Amino acid sequence: MDRSDWQTVVLVTTWQIAASICYYTVFAATPFFRDAFGLTRFSVGLVVTTLTLGYAVFLIPLGALTDRFGERVTLTLGLFGLAAGAVLVAGAPTYTLLLAAVFVLGSMYGTAMPGTNKAVFDTVDPNHQNLAMGIKQVGVTGGSGSSALLITGLAGVLFWQAGFLVAAGVGSVVAIGFYLTYSSDSRDSANGYPDFRALLSNRSYVALTAAGFFLGAALFTTTGYTVLYVEESIGASVTFGGVVLALVQVFGSVGRVLTGWLSDVLPGEPRVRIGLVLIVQSLGSAAMFVVVAATTAERGAAIAFSALGFFVLGYTGVYYSVMATLVRADEMGGATAGGQLALTSGALVAPPAFGSLADTVGYRTGWLFLAAVVTTAAVLLVYVVRTPPPVAAPAAVDTSE
């Protein structure tokens, strides 16, 4: 990548880290919500569901606005909104107001994927777009891992709300810096609002988003219950649970960069080679869920969750890279919003279902349930690989010829 490409990648990755620190504080704070508000595991799942509901409701409108007005303004306002949401969560005095606060926080995160994905596929050289996507997606796992350490670490020396306040400060500072330094806005090349009817007629895209529903169910449930599982089932401290969640994010980051690089350098048609990488990640996730279900010791849990993170958190960059082989460049904002809506829709139902299974049957059954979920995603991805899209010039350019 040349200097301008690296500048884009660094800026959007920094933005993504700050945004993910704000958003994923909720996942890391689930034990503190449980203690502060006297919640059951099911009620904890509803907190995660409400967060992702806010995300899901605003994804399509914010994706359309990104295609129409460009990413500079939407990403800046979105990060300010995330900072405000983190402050609201910290100040929530009741469970009902906590749910309202996490809804606001989740809604502002809807600017993330449409804006950052559009920036990459509009400005980065086609030969390096998948690697750029992998690096950019490290911002999600890096921010999430940082939030896990931030929330659990500061709670031990100050109070559980302290991490949210620090996250809000980081988000505000980065939002100002991003607005002042980002200059590669693609607004002038935008053709208006995306044609969602055309996207829905694209069978390959629809199948990919259907797979995204199951992949999102597994991803968000994993991040939402890792700390609780390590504390309650393994018998470790909340602090150790935070470290395990951070390891999940670190290895997820490794997975995103490595699979992004492989998606660039492997031979073959882009849709096929990138789709096969995503299938391998899905099946690897299924295998590691089975391993996690059988783990009972602290060291084993740390190793198993790290490997699980490599697969189940390592797929998102490749997921959007596959999407770029199915839709046009001027559709990427809206297409990304639809794809991310599918991911978060899975998160609306899976965490409460997992929590109910953990309450009534046990965590082991819950992890096996997630193994079945990602296996279903792999089946749908086979269809994507085998079905050419009705798009003559997709966003991802085939540079192998």
Does 355 fall in a domain?
yes
Q: Is the dihedral of CA 256, 363, 21, 205 positive or negative?
A: positive
Contact 259, 277 (CB under 8 A): yes
- Number of folded domains in the chain? 1
Q: What is the pTM of this model?
A: 0.71
Does 61 fall in a domain?
yes
Q: Average pLDDT of 205-218?
A: 92
pLDDT at 190: 47
Of 90-94, 100-104, 247-251, 335-339, least confident by mean pLDDT is: 335-339
Q: Decide which of 334 and 315 is more confident.
A: 315
Does 378 fall in a domain?
yes
Q: Which two tokens stand for residue 225?
A: 């219950």
- How many angstroms separate the CA atoms of 45 and 159, rounded? 22
Does 401 fall in a domain?
no
Q: What do you get for the CA distance between the two ends of the chain, in Å?
A: 19
Q: Does position 370 have pLDDT exceeding 80, yes or no?
A: yes
Q: Average pLDDT of 15-42?
A: 83
Give residue for tokens 């806010």. Answer: 54
Query: 186 falls in which pLDDT band (50, 70, 90)?
Result: low
Q: Average pLDDT of 174-181?
A: 88
Type of residue at 344: T
What are 285-313's pLDDT values in tens digits? Answer: 999 999 998 888 888 889 999 999 999 88
- How many angstroms separate the CA atoms of 287 and 122, rounded? 36
Buried/exposed code over 207-222 (b: 16+ C-beta within 10 A; e: otherwise): bbbbbbbbbbbbbbbb
What are 108-127's pLDDT values in tens digits? Answer: 998 887 788 777 777 777 67
Q: What is the CA radius of gyration of the chain?
A: 19
Q: What is the CATH number of the domain that holds 96?
A: 1.20.1250.20
Q: Average pLDDT of 313-320?
A: 84
Cβ count within 10 A of residue 206 = 18
pLDDT at 210: 94
Q: Which two tokens stand for residue 295?
A: 């783990």
Q: Average pLDDT of 337-359?
A: 82
Does 395 fall in a domain?
no
Does 319 fall in a domain?
yes
Phi and psi, residue 237, nearest 5°: -80, 165
pLDDT at 189: 46
pLDDT at 193: 58
Q: Average pLDDT of 7-11?
A: 82
Grouping H, G, I as helix, E, B as strand and the rest as coil, residue 182 is coil
What are 231-283's pLDDT values in tens digits? Answer: 888 888 877 887 888 888 788 888 888 888 888 778 888 888 899 999 999 99
**Chain-centre distance of CA 259, in angstroms?**
16
pLDDT at 188: 45
Does 347 fall in a domain?
yes
Q: Which two tokens stand for residue 123?
A: 């400005």
Q: What percent of the chain has pLDDT over 90?
A: 22
Does 24 fall in a domain?
yes
- Average pLDDT over the chain, rounded to an integer: 82
Domain encompassing residue 245: 3-183+192-386
Cβ count within 10 A of residue 65 = 23
- How many angstroms separate the CA atoms of 46 and 160, rounded? 20
